[in-house]
């Protein structure tokens, strides 16, 4: 139990650190970002009243001393008021995040999990049986992983979208449909997710497979696996309960890291496929000098990285009891 309280304490501290860092970041923007933002807003229409104050607090550069500014920043944050975006003026930043984040998390998150599951399973089998098929597959998957992702994505887009017309070229859904839980919308969203999802899976699969195969080979030479065989335990159980069970431990840490990168790592994919997720939004925010939106996205990225690591840390405590004891 002490392990868990300690971990929770650590993450609360890390969260505070991330939020505070976010407070200081806009100070490095040349000039007065609030003025820039307001100037841009007035170009597209009338900013809501009091927006100057909100923006200053959110960007952490309002009036008063530093402590006052910090306090205001935290207050706005706790009300989930991150200002309005100029990219889609005058939509509140929180609103944009709420719209785009699910697309990214569902697609990239699912793809990451699938890549991990398939890659790890294939890797364990490749190490366990030394099957010729799986070990011949390994160079192929490793090649796909080593290929720059945007290139892989473009090749797939070209073959399946442009040449074969099997799948839609871009977007996250058919824009002629209303967003909602209708079946036609869901089918359209699924169709649009196949190419981006498949390319992510293919790009990540090889890494998981290679590391799991190597770890399985290492684990197989451990005495406890051999001892399990000496005990006449069934091969299936030896694989699942001893060899793969222990070989997966390092991969779990890697999995935490890649879950944390679901949001930030999806940027290239979303640009290639013009996918309506948070990475694509970040690109637009940068192009438009939309500091408030950028600030909001950075905050989300921090939260996701922390959240994923927290989740896996908790999980790790269960799957490797030794960590619970480690100081």
Partner 1 sequence: MRVQPAAQTGAEGRNDAVLRASHISVEYGGTVPTRAVRDVSIELHRGEMLGIAGESGCGKSTLAYALTRLLRPPAVMTEGQVLFCGRDGAAPIDIMQLEPEALRRFRWTVVSMVFQSAMNSLNPVISLRRQFSDIFEAHVPEMDREARDRRSRELLEMVGIDPSRLGGFPHELSGGMRQRVGIAMALALQPEIVIMDEPTTALDVVVQREILLEIARLRRELGFSVIFITHDLPMLVDLSDRLAVMYAGEIVERAPAEWVGGRPAHPYTLGLQAACPDLLGERRALQGIPGSPPDLRQRLRGCAFAPRCQYVFGPCADIHPVLSPLAPPAAAVIESVLDRDGGKTSKLNDWAVACHLHDRTANPAGPPDELAGDPLGTGGLVPPAVGAGLGVDPTGRPARGQDQL
Which residues contact partner 1 (rule: CB under 8 A)? 221-224, 226-234, 237, 241-242, 245-246, 249, 319-322, 325
From residue 266, how far is each of 106, 217, 256, 261 by CA, in Å? 11, 32, 16, 8
Nearer to partner 1, 27 or 130 (CB): 130
Token pair 């473009």 is at which residue?
154
How many angstroms separate the CA atoms of 308 and 293, rounded? 22
Q: How far is the CB of 229 from partner 1 (least distance, A)?
A: 7
Q: How far is the CB of 209 from partner 1 (least distance, A)?
A: 22
Neighbours of 115 (CB within 10 A): 24
Nearer to partner 1, 39 or 240 (CB): 240
Q: Which tokens is 9 given?
A: 């304490």
Residues 143, 302 contacting (CB under 8 angstroms)? no
Q: How far is the CB of 5 from partner 1 (least distance, A)?
A: 20
Q: How far is the CB of 1 from partner 1 (least distance, A)?
A: 15
Taking the CA atoms of residue 130, residue 132, residue 134 and residue 137 in that order, the dihedral angle to the nearest 10 degrees is 140
Label each residue of 108-127 as H, E or C: HHHHHHHHHHHHHHHHHHHH
Nearer to partner 1, 24 or 224 (CB): 224
Q: Is the dihedral of CA 294, 194, 114, 124 positive or negative?
A: negative
Residues 89, 45 contacting (CB under 8 angstroms)? yes
Q: How far is the CB of 211 from partner 1 (least distance, A)?
A: 18
Nearer to partner 1, 132 or 322 (CB): 322
Nearer to partner 1, 216 or 281 (CB): 216
Instruction: Give DSSP secondary structure letters for 217-240.
Output: HHHHTSHHHHHHHHTT--HHHHII
Nearer to partner 1, 30 or 232 (CB): 232
Nearer to partner 1, 5 or 221 (CB): 221
Strand, coil or helix: what is 84? strand
Q: How far is the CB of 222 from partner 1 (least distance, A)?
A: 7
Q: Which of 106, 65, 59, 107 is nearest to 84 (CA)?
A: 59
Q: How far is the CB of 315 from partner 1 (least distance, A)?
A: 13
């Amino acid at each position: 139990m002490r392990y868990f309280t300690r971990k929770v304490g650590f993450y609360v501290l890390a969260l505070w650190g991330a939020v505070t860092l976010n407070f200081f970041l806009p100070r490095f923007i040349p000039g007065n970002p609030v003025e820039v933002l307001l100037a841009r807003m007035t170009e597209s229409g009338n900013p809501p009243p009091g927006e100057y104050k909100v923006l200053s607090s959110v960007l952490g550069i309002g009036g008063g001393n530093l402590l006052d500014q910090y306090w205001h920043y935290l207050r706005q944050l706790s009300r989930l008021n991150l200002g309005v975006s100029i990219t889609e003026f005058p939509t509140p930043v929180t609103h944009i995040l709420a719209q785009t984040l699910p697309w990214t998390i569902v697609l990239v998150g699912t793809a990451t999990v699938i890549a991990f599951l398939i890659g790890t399973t294939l890797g364990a089998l490749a190490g366990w049986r030394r099957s010729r098929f799986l070990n011949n597959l390994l160079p192929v998957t490793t090649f796909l992983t080593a290929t720059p992702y945007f290139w892989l994505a473009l090749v797939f887009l070209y073959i399946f979208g442009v040449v074969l017309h099997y799948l839609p070229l871009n977007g996250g859904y058919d824009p002629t449909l209303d967003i909602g839980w209708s079946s036609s919308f869901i089918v359209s969203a699924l169709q649009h997710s196949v190419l981006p999802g498949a390319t992510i899976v293919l790009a990540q699969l090889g890494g998981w497979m290679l590391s799991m195969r190597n770890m399985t080979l290492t684990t197989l030479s451990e005495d406890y696996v051999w001892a399990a065989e000496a005990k006449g335990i069934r091969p299936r159980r030896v694989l699942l309960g001893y060899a793969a069970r222990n070989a997966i431990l390092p991969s779990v840490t890697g999995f935490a890291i890649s879950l944390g990168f679901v949001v930030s790592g999806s940027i290239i994919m979303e640009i290639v496929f013009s996918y309506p997720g948070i990475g694509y939004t970040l690109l637009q925010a940068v192009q438009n000098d939309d500091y408030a939106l950028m600030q909001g996205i950075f905050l989300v990225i921090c939260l996701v990285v922390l959240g994923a690591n927290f989740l896996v840390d908790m999980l790790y405590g269960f799957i490797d009891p030794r960590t619970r004891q480690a100081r």
